[in-house]
């Protein structure tokens, strides 16, 4: 069995196979795979006996359910008002500079994707960003470089896979 | 005109919760009717933004006839500038869990859900631990009530109650037609009480101390205290519990940086109040408060004179354009028109009168949009455009 | 017990049942409230907001289609507040719309255009969003053109595809300004589960979903003097065409249609009803053969129930959704394709024509037939069996283009050889019709007696119920059918693919023990087909059905096997049903397809 199919089967065993279990299953796949491929969605549709188009339509409603290939680490920088006021642009520049990608892109080694998102609920500590599920706040360009370096180190550099 | 109410800090919500077991046991030994009356006499209104009387909400669901009912805690907290619910869930989760169980007792529900926004994924481990401890205690006192976490996935509109139900049912988070209302037709078509995290935390206070302690705070139509998420140009951003009814002038005295030009009350879907109206603006629910009062989910964003109100509005509209569910015409197309429209005026492609056309459009959006999102875009748009017209043009 | 309540609409009092929507109450009171996302066939969406009304005492306006009346409600449908807002909403829709009416296929029959003209939206104050957006126009399907720049996002098509058809080829994806109607992973409509039934086209208020039209190709063929252009007309066209040309719904225009086709310049005008009768001969025999193989020979290879195969939308549906059940399908081609295969063989020979020069055109109530004609296997004549398929709507367009005053035409008769039909062929156009026609012939074949129903009208299989059942007990059969003595032939009829799906599920679960099932992709059968006049509604389909049965009742011959041209074709060309030649020309095979 394909590993993704197996993952989906396990998720369905765990959450159930009703329509109301769709979101947790989509989330479970994204958690592991970082995005929902065509194959994943077809498998989910099959497992839950749902139309594939419905799975696609539902998934694309939610901005955290990516449907294009994403890096291992998805960086989501808040672009809403307070973060904007408090220097979100510099944060973006710092990241773009360091990873050599712009918003919406993934590093060639497949490690990082850079996205923007709406208010993360840390406006009092703006600017803020998420890396996968980790929150980082009161960012400055220096701080961002440190954080990214720690990810690069942890993972043995950009060329690790 | 200024109001008489001083800014007063309160400490209910984050006060320790060590006695939750006692509050729970004591509350469920009371009849649903007593508890409803307690809530009604506290005059607690929902803290999620709409300000619906909580006692009445519970009462309506308790009267609905059905074997299966649900209690849902709305922790989708997506309104820009709001971050209080996260704090409650991480610091005093047992208050919320207790309140959910008491609500279950009142309306006859055995299942509760916390709809937690995807952005707060990191809260899950701690919250899950709290839930299992809580459920363990429920079992001990023979209370049949289960709580589960349902994760959102990055969609602001899912905070709207009927969109939230749709989302929990595994669908796109598109708001439903109302009626029917959640009290009779909510999650899975069953009678459902849905309350904001903070609302639930306040009911804990009320069940613990009685309605009066809560009622004695605040002013007519706006009783009790409220958490405020303070951000923007302020030396002390953070979360503060304040008595309702204060004047915005007092608030700015306390939190401003000395150069406050305007305050956005209630997040992107709230109103912008310019400096000249701080004195006459009171913070509470709409009613017969002296001066203008503003409904609020508790977001207070301060802007000083270095900020361009055009950029602020532009940012809000960008937010709405993306976060609208997109199903209804006035909201989906309206948001795009407003955003493109102010840019066109700014660039001189449309003349200043076009702003009036856009103001009329926001009226239509308010009158005709299917849900609160589209209806409330008018709030920030008109309050910003009317008060800072020059900044929109030049 | 429903209780009655009273409300006023624009000051006029009406009494209605509790639970009635404001929209329905207004209709009752003779007040028209404009709508866009509302459709009688579908569940209420309440998303376009065109139908907003004012309820006195409420600040906000209310969507009439989605709101039940309450006792004592005072509703205003034309207050200044309502008018201004509604106008804004139409303006907004137009601003997001590629409003290029003069070049639009729906020009003249478009609900958005109608709204715009009703509200006299003469200016373009709002910024035109349409040119700034990235839109897809999918023209790759042989049946459907999907142009997102014309879509108002009313979701009628999605609800149609989900609720009526249970196909779910279309979905709503993304949110906010990006929200759109699309397919799985935004693939081409020809690459997904879409059955090409065209119901979404029939329910779309705008030009966002239309049929792929072949009008110019057909004009070219007619004008080409080296070509012999043969046309066939499906049963349901004769009860639909009139609607497009100024007649009342449900008017039968068979003779005028034939006259019009001749005036358009077709070289021969013949009838799909003829091959409908032929289908009955082939399919009826196939059924009896299958019954024998199962009941007598106990052949495990032969599958029952046998399902009809004349609805290509249904065929594509089962290929996608129940690919493991393809052996249950009758191998008969649809009447259209039988006709096509015969036109370039039997007809060519009889008329001494080089099949190379024959262009075979069909007029169908159906968009799936366009897809079917395009299937690679449909070349059994040695050529493409059917060259062009036009819908009822396309034919109406050609008639108008040719300047024919349709009302004034004298009735004419079909050309001979493949132009004769019986009432049995006609009722193919209605749900239950194939079943009824088959029973009329098969019963008689087996017993030598007519079906035991008054005037041959097999009422249990008629009507608009989604799934119908009938049992026919066979008693005292002729000698060669003795094995059928006492057998209760269990039949079912399903129309609308959502109902087809229900029947298939019950078969899969082993709950159903039918012998023979008629499946039609479209609600009401072909008369409600995706190529029929727009609008459609339960009432309209009912009227067309009545017309079909009236046509049947008025025919001198009502049973397929009585058709003289059928008798002739077996004598001169095919020998007998299921002969080798029939197998080659009239039967086909199916392809399992993906389910997304
Ligand atoms: C667009 C929109 C977003 C909303 N988001 C939230 C939210 O994040 N949290 C919340 O508690 N209520 C939110 N609400 C309000 C809810 O619909 C609902 O009124 C609330 O959960 C009721 O709880 P309360 O009575 O305790 O305030 C939102 C409403 C709208 C229209
Ligand atoms: S107002 Fe906006 S968010 Fe609400 S239903 Fe309409 S489009 Fe969706
Ligand atoms: S869809 Fe309707 S309004 Fe749009 S261009 Fe076509 S006819 Fe005109
Ligand atoms: S043609 Fe039929 S199956 Fe295809 S999208 Fe339209 S309604 Fe669905
Ligand atoms: S394609 Fe037609 S029916 Fe479907 S949403 Fe668009 S306008 Fe409506
Ligand atoms: S604006 Fe960035 S966290 Fe709220
Ligand atoms: S017709 Fe009522 S909202 Fe569209």
The per-residue pLDDT string of chain C (596 residues; one tens digit each, 9 = 90 and over) reads 678 999 999 999 999 999 999 999 999 999 999 999 999 999 999 999 999 999 999 999 999 999 999 999 999 999 999 999 999 999 999 999 999 999 999 999 999 999 999 999 888 889 999 999 999 999 999 999 999 999 999 999 999 999 999 999 999 999 999 999 999 999 999 999 999 999 999 999 999 999 999 999 999 999 999 999 999 999 999 999 999 999 999 999 999 999 999 999 999 999 999 999 999 999 999 999 999 999 999 999 999 999 999 999 999 999 999 999 999 999 999 999 999 999 999 999 999 999 999 999 999 999 999 999 999 999 999 999 999 999 999 999 999 999 999 999 999 999 999 999 999 999 999 999 999 999 999 999 999 999 999 999 999 999 999 999 999 999 999 999 999 999 999 999 999 999 999 999 999 999 999 999 999 999 999 999 999 999 999 999 999 999 999 999 999 999 999 999 999 999 999 999 999 999 999 999 999 999 99
Q: How many CB pairs under 8 A join A and C?
A: 46
Q: List the domain range (segments joined by +) for residue A21.
A: 3-59
Provide the domain count of chain B: 2
Question: Are C400 and C540 members of one domain?
Answer: no
Question: Are A100 and A50 members of one domain?
Answer: no
pLDDT of B290 higher than 60: no
Question: Are C318 and C350 members of one domain?
Answer: no
Chain A's closest residue to B121, CA to CA, is A133
Task: Tell me the ligand closest to C96's alpha carbon.
Answer: 3
List, for residues B94-108, the tens digit of each pLDDT value. 999 999 999 999 999
Other C-beta atoms lying within 10 Å of the C-beta of residue B224: 26
Q: List the domain range (segments joined by +) for residue B366.
A: 309-393
Question: Are C488 and C535 members of one domain?
Answer: yes
Question: Are C44 and C145 members of one domain?
Answer: no
Cα C460 from Cα C463, distance rounded (Å): 8
Residue B134 belongs to a domain: yes
Confidence (pLDDT) at C290: 96
DSSP structural state of residue C346? I
Residue A64 belongs to a domain: no
What's the pTM value of the predicted model, to 2 decimals?
0.97
Looking at B197, B215, B233, the residue that finishes a domain is B215
Dihedral of CA atoms C170, C172, C174, C175 in degrees, nearest 10, equals 170
Cα C558 from Cα C553, distance rounded (Å): 8
Question: Are C189 and C130 members of one domain?
Answer: yes
- The answer to whether B34 and B75 are in contact (CB under 8 A) is no
Question: Are B355 and B207 members of one domain?
Answer: no
Residue C88 belongs to a domain: no
- Looking at residues B214-218, what average pLDDT do you find? 95
Cα C414 from Cα C398, distance rounded (Å): 19
Provide the domain count of chain A: 2
Residue A89 belongs to a domain: yes
Q: Which of A23, A66, A75, A77 to mutate to test the interface with B (most CBs of B within 10 A)?
A: A23
Question: Are A142 and A95 members of one domain?
Answer: yes
Looking at C177, C211, C245, the residue that finishes a domain is C211
Question: Are A40 and A101 members of one domain?
Answer: no
Contacts of B327 in chain C (CB under 8 A): 45, 47, 153, 155, 172, 179
Q: List the domain range (segments joined by +) for residue C204.
A: 104-110+125-211
Residue B102 belongs to a domain: yes
- CB-based contact A57 C183, cutoff 8 Å: no
Looking at B148, B181, B215, the residue that finishes a domain is B215
Question: Are A84 and A29 members of one domain?
Answer: no
* B131-138 contacts at long range (C-beta below 8 A, 24 or more positions apart): B131/B93, B131/B97, B134/B94, B134/B97, B134/B98, B134/B101, B137/B21, B137/B24, B138/B24, B138/B101
Does the complex come out with an ipTM higher than 0.90? yes
Cα B249 from Cα B264, distance rounded (Å): 13
CATH number of the structural domain spanning residue B119? 3.40.50.11540
Distance B16 CA to ligand 1 centre (A): 26
Cα C328 from Cα C318, distance rounded (Å): 10
Residue C94 belongs to a domain: no
Residue A125 belongs to a domain: yes
List, for residues C351-384, the tens digit of each pLDDT value. 999 999 999 999 999 999 999 999 999 999 999 9
Residue A150, CA atoms < 13 Å, CB-side half-sphere: 7
Residue B58 belongs to a domain: yes
Question: Are C397 and C250 members of one domain?
Answer: yes
Q: Which two tokens stand for residue A158?
A: 């950009």
Looking at B215, B234, B264, the residue that finishes a domain is B215
Q: Binning pLDDT at 50, 70 and 90, where does residue B291 land?
A: low
Residue C86 belongs to a domain: no
Cα A1 from Cα B30, distance rounded (Å): 55
Task: List all residues of chain A from 85 to 104 with a beta carbon under 8 Å from chain B.
Answer: 85
Question: Are A141 and A92 members of one domain?
Answer: yes
CATH number of the structural domain spanning residue B347? 1.20.1440.230
Confidence (pLDDT) at A158: 46
Question: Are C327 and C457 members of one domain?
Answer: yes
Distance from CA of B310 to the nearest CA of A (A): 12
Question: Are C259 and C357 members of one domain?
Answer: yes
Residue A66 belongs to a domain: no
Cα B110 from Cα C166, distance rounded (Å): 35
- The answer to whether C143 and C368 are in contact (CB under 8 A) is yes
Residue A106 belongs to a domain: yes
Looking at C358, C385, C408, the residue that finishes a domain is C408
Of all protein residues, the one whose alpha carbon is nearest to atom 1 of ligand 7 is C35
List, for residues C248-289, the tens digit of each pLDDT value. 999 999 999 999 999 999 999 999 999 999 999 999 999 999
Of all protein residues, the one whose alpha carbon is nearest to atom 7 of ligand 3 is C107
Question: Are C498 and C557 members of one domain?
Answer: yes
Beta-bridged to residue C145, according to DSSP, are C210
- CB-based contact A124 B238, cutoff 8 Å: yes
Contacts of A81 in chain B (CB under 8 A): 80-81, 232, 264, 268, 301, 312, 315-316, 319
Q: How many residues does chain B have?
A: 394
Question: Are A50 and A78 members of one domain?
Answer: no
Is the C-beta atom of B161 inside 6 A of ligand 1? yes
Provide the domain count of chain C: 4
């Amino acid at each position: 069995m394909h590993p993704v199919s197996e993952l989906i089967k396990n998720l369905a065993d765990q959450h159930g196979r009703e329509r109301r279990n769709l979101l947790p299953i989509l989330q479970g796949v994204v958690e592991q795979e970082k995005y929902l491929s065509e194959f994943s969605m077809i498998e989910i549709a099959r497992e839950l006996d749902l139309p594939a188009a419905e799975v696609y339509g539902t998934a694309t409603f939610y901005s955290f359910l990516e449907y294009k290939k994403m890096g291992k680490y998805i960086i989501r920088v808040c672009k809403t008002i307070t973060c904007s006021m408090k220097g979100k642009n510099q944060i973006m520049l710092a990241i773009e500079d360091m990873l050599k990608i712009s918003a919406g892109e993934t590093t060639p080694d497949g490690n990082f994707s850079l996205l923007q998102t709406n208010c993360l609920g840390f406006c009092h500590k703006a600017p803020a960003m998420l890396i996968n599920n980790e929150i980082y706040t009161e960012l400055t360009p220096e701080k961002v470089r440190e954080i990214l370096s720690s990810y690069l180190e942890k993972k043995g550099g950009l060329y690790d896979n | 005109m200024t109001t008489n109410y001083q800014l007063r800090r309160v400490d209910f919500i984050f006060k320790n919760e060590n006695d939750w077991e006692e509050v729970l046991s004591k509350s469920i030994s009371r009849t649903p009717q007593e508890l409803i009356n307690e809530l009604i006499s506290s005059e607690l209104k929902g803290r999620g933004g709409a300000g619906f009387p909580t006692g009445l909400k519970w009462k309506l669901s308790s009267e609905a006839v059905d074997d299966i009912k649900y209690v849902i805690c709305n922790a989708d907290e997506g309104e820009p500038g709001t971050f209080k619910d996260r704090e409650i869930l991480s610091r005093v989760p047992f208050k919320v869990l207790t309140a959910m169980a008491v609500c279950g007792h009142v309306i006859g529900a055995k299942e509760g859900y916390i709809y937690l926004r995807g952005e707060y994924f990191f809260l899950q481990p701690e919250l899950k631990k709290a839930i299992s401890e809580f459920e363990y205690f429920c079992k001990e006192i023979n209370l049949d009530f289960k709580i589960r976490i349902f994760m959102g996935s990055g969609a602001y509109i899912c905070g709207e109650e009927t969109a939230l139900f749709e989302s929990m049912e595994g669908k796109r988070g598109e708001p439903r037609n109302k009626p029917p209302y959640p009290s009779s037709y909510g999650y899975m078509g069953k009678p459902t009480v849905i309350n904001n995290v903070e609302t639930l935390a306040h009911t804990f206070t009320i069940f613990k101390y009685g309605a009066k302690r809560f009622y004695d705070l605040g002013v007519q139509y706006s009783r009790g205290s409220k958490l405020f998420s303070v951000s923007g140009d302020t030396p002390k951003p953070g979360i503060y519990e304040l008595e309702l009814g204060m004047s915005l002038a007092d608030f700015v005295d306390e939190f401003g940086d000395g150069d406050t030009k305007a305050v956005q009350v209630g997040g992107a879907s709230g109103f912008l109040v310019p400096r000249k109206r701080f004195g006459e603006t009171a913070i509470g629910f709409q009613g017969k408060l002296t001066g203008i009062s503003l409904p609020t989910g508790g977001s207070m964003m301060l802007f000083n004179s270095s900020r361009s109100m055009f950029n602020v509005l532009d940012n809000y509209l960008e937010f709405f354009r993306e976060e609208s569910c997109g199903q209804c015409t006035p909201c989906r197309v309206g948001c795009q028109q407003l955003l493109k429209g102010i840019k066109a005026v700014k660039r001189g492609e449309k003349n200043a009168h076009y702003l009036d056309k856009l103001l009329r459009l926001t009226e239509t959006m308010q009158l005709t949009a299917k849900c609160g999102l589209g209806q409330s875009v008018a709030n920030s748009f008109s309050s910003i455009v009317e008060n800072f017209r020059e900044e929109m043009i030049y | 017990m429903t209780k009655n309540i009273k409300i006023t609409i624009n000051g006029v009092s009406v009494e209605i049942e509790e639970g009635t929507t404001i929209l329905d109450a207004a209709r009752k009171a003779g007040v028209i409230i404009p709508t866009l996302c509302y459709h009688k066939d579908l569940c209420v969406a309440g998303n376009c907001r065109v139908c907003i009304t004012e309820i006195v005492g409420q600040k906000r306006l209310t969507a009439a289609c989605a709101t039940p009346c309450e006792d004592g409600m005072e509703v205003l449908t034309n207050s200044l507040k309502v008018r201004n807002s509604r106008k804004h909403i139409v303006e907004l829709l137009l601003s997001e719309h590629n409003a290029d009416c003069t070049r639009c296929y729906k020009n003249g029959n478009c609900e958005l255009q109608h709204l715009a003209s009703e509200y006299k939206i003469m200016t373009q104050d709002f910024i035109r969003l349409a040119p700034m957006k990235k839109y897809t126009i999918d023209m790759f399907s042989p049946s459907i053109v999907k142009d997102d720049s014309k879509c108002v996002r009313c979701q009628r098509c999605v609800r149609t595809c989900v609720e009526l058809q249970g196909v779910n080829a279309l979905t709503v994806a993304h949110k906010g300004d990006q929200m759109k109607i699309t397919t799985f992973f935004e693939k081409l409509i020809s690459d997904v589960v879409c059955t090409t039934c065209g119901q979404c086209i029939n329910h779309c208020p705008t030009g966002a979903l239309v049929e792929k039209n072949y009008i110019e190709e057909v004009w070219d063929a007619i004008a080409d003097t080296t070509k012999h252009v043969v046309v066939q007309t499906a049963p349901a066209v004769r009860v639909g065409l009139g609607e497009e040309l100024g007649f009342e719904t449900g008017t039968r225009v068979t003779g005028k249609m034939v006259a019009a086709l001749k005036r358009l310049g077709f070289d021969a005008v013949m009838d799909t009803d003829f091959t409908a009768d032929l289908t009955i001969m082939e399919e009826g025999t196939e059924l009896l053969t299958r019954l024998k193989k199962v009941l007598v020979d106990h052949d495990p290879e032969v599958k029952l129930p046998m399902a009809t195969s004349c609805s290509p939308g249904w065929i594509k549906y089962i290929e996608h959704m129940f690919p493991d059940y393809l052996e249950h399908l009758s191998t008969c081609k649809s009447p259209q394709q039988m006709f096509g295969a015969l036109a370039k063989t039997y007809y060519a020979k009889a008329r001494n024509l080089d099949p190379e020069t024959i262009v075979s055109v069909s007029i169908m109530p159906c968009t799936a037939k366009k897809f079917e004609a395009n299937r690679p296997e449909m070349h059994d004549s040695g050529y493409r069996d059917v060259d062009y398929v036009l819908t009822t709507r396309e034919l109406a367009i050609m008639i108008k283009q040719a300047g024919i005053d349709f009302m004034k035409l004298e009735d004419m008769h079909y050309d001979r050889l493949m132009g004769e039909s019986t009432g049995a062929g006609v009722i193919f156009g209605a749900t239950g019709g194939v079943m009824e026609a088959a029973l009329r012939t098969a019963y008689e074949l087996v017993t030598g007696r007519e079906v035991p129903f008054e005037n041959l009208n097999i009422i249990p299989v008629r009507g608009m119920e989604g799934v119908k059942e009938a049992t026919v007990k066979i008693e005292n059969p002729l000698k060669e059918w003795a094995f059928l003595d006492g057998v209760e032939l269990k039949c079912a009829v399903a129309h609308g693919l959502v109902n087809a799906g229900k029947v298939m599920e019950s078969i899969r679960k082993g709950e159903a023990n039918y012998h023979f099932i008629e499946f039609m992709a479209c609600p009401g059968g072909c008369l409600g087909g995706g190529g029929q006049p727009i609008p459609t509604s339960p009432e309209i389909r009912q009227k067309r059905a009545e017309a079909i049965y009236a046509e049947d009742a008025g025919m001198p011959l009502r049973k397929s096997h009585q058709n003289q041209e059928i008798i002739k074709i077996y004598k001169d060309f095919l020998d007998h049903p299921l002969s080798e030649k029939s197998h080659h020309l009239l039967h086909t095979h199916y392809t399992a397809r993906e389910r997304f």
